[in-house]
Amino acid sequence: MECDDISSDGLATAVEACERWRDEGRGEAAADVARGLAKTAAALDAAKREAEGTAEAIERELARSNANGGEERIVRGDSAMETDDGAEEETGARASAATEEKDGVAPGASDFTERAKYIPMRLTPEERKKLRLLEAALHVSEYTDVVDVFSYRSKTQRITRQLKEICAIMCGLVVASDYRAGQKLIVDKEFKDNEAFFQDVFEIGRRHKVMNPEKMRSEYGKLIFLLQDSQSEEVQELLGFKLVKPLQTVFAFLQSRGGEAMLGDSLIEAATAEIMHEGLPRHEVQRMIKRKERAREVVASKYSSSTLDKEDILQCLYSIADNNAYLRFNRDPVDKMLGLLNKYFDPSAAEKAYSLGITMGMGGARLSHNHQRQFTYCAQSMMLWREVLNDMFRLWYLAESDLLCERNYYSLTNTGQGLNRVQSCPRVGKAMHGVLAKCQRALGGWVGSSVVHLGDHNVPNALVFIDKYSQVSRILNPIVLVIDELPNLAKDSGLKAYIEATFGGIEECQKAILCDFFKHAFDGSGSDNFFDAGSCIDGRLTSSWNWCSKIEKKTYYPIFKLAGFSGFDGGDFRS
């Protein structure tokens, strides 16, 4: 009998049977059985209380997220934003270098001053021209194919040659696009004379990627790895100049122009709010848009000066608004999945045919959880994902700081998935443990392992960490869309008959999809051993990837296709 099938009534009956057995003269054995059953009952009661507590914590968190309502629903960052007080960050903005973490207590949701330290500036039209040059140069480059191999030839010389080749390609593209500008760039000059130009171009590429994670999916890896190599003292000596400069953030931009006081204005929230138009009449949406535009104009007029004009201020407001849009697209699917978990599944009791219980060895599972414990495990995992995505810009900033630190060397190692750059991640590791601790405090406990893999063969470096958690919305968004689209599909009589004949109804189909996801996307599968998958922090996401790879074999896959599902990749690989 599986753990999730044991009920309180069944335990009581077993205890009564033990008492009768004891009366017949087998008292010692009966007492042992009774003690074991009593422990099982206590464990089940504890799991039930834990699941109910987790469900209540989720409801409170979702209610707090939606409490920004009123006339305008606002999407904004609301997690703790800690600052790094470790070693000096060569790639960090000077503005945040002096900020210290204080007892892990971070500013609240509306503290735009702290948020702005990690929000990159939106690109200007001129910067977008340079971005196209960088993308073209990286697209034709074979940097990692040449550098990240085992060879007897000097790696430093190979790196330097590749870096100069990329710089030469960019100079050539500048000449091709604007002859006069290209002439000024290359005539009677060496690469080191154009250090500022190359630093600007590479910084623009990094900034664009943070704001648009779905872009530059193959080029960004080359970009980070070549910048990582350029930080080596030996390479800098041969190259003659540096390619890395601090990321241009909203706070750094305003501080350099004496306008950082703007971030404390009460109108910033209204001027950057993400307008949620779903279910609202057109006139209401128009009124909200006009209110937002008026707030922008008031802020721009109030804080403009000789060093900071209105266009600069509007660019900063647009950048903060871009961060809110990012949160809406990436964090909201996690909120919706948490809501669906609470809506369709009782944390304390399993509905017949929709139990979340899993048993190791069955269906590929590597864990054994009854319904209550699996409910808690899924909820806690998604709460952690929510906090990571809510704080992603800060984590990305710290990840680049780890990757591009001059004194943080890497080793080229075969991790079982090819050659990877294994590098320690002190800054992002510290921040990730802070996020985890925040979740554990909010939920009052934790199911499974709390190990965070960073700088080992599971997560070799901070770039892999960022890539892993960038996939969360790509996994959850299609599921949410299919669940929401099912009632519309049922408006067709033929499709409705198919759904009822196969699943029993619309709600039953939704429950079947969600039940399978919450069971087998969180069952510890997806790797060759328990250390690499299981219940560790990164293993939870590995199991979800594994579930996605098997979607075509599911009985409900036709429903996904009918709802418009095309894949979990989020579009064309190079989009």
Give residue 510's pLDDT: 96
Give residue 26's pLDDT: 61
Strand partners, 410: 423
Strand partners, 120: 249
Give residue 141's pLDDT: 86
Query: From the CB of residue 32, how many other CB atoms can be counted at a distance below 10 Å?
Result: 11
Mean pLDDT by 10 residues, the chain (575 residues): 44 62 61 69 68 66 55 39 36 38 41 91 93 90 84 80 84 77 74 85 94 90 91 86 92 93 91 85 91 93 92 94 91 93 90 90 87 92 94 95 92 88 94 93 86 90 93 93 94 94 94 95 80 77 91 94 86 37
Give residue 65's pLDDT: 59
Give residue 25's pLDDT: 58
Give the DSSP letter string of 148-189: SS--SS-HHHHHHHHHHHHHHHHHHHHHHH-HHHHHHHHTT-
**Residue 471, both tokens:** 């996939």
φ/ψ bin of 104: left (φ > 0), alpha (ψ from -120 to 50), beta (otherwise): left
Give residue 158's pLDDT: 85
